[in-house]
Structure 1
């Protein structure tokens, strides 16, 4: 299983609630509709909480400011991921998603990486 972890910062023009609403109500259905073309096996949104624990946790580790959310996209194999990066229909679907991401994600401040999970607990 290959996973893309996308740590999102919202556009400065959006409130946290507006960001979460757009991401869930508008962007998620777009990803779901394009998942077959991109061979996405799983898509998970993790929405940041507004909690006083954030400040304490960040301070204890001298961490960077928190993200507004994390998206996780899964592919069953490297072959499926390579297909998503080379097939014409998949590239079109990916371009459509990127176009929509520009409406709510501050892409220059966000971070993404491909990973292979190595479970330790659970």
Structure 2
């Protein structure tokens, strides 16, 4: 009977030890899982940070490119406005001339063209 009494005393103790060992194993598994999840979270954060940095740089490049493009367009518009103003001024001067002055000017232009053509012919280009 004494042997049986010892067995009964040891049996609940062994059960407690088994529960404790299982709990320690479960705790260890949970700790590894938490560690893995933290590592995965850190990797995800780093990837998002890298993606954010890349997208920010791409956005800055796009803005700079558009800014340079806008500057070029502005320069072209200003140049076209200047040329248009010059042509309008020239046309206004011609329109303000009398018919005789316009005829004289056309004659002078024709004479200049004739002289240039003559010079080209003398040099063997005509």
**TM-score normalised to the size of structure 1?**
0.22
Larger % of strand: which?
1
Higher helix share: 2
* TM-score w.r.t. length of structure 2: 0.21
Higher relative CO (Cα under 8 Å, sequence separation at least 6) belongs to 1
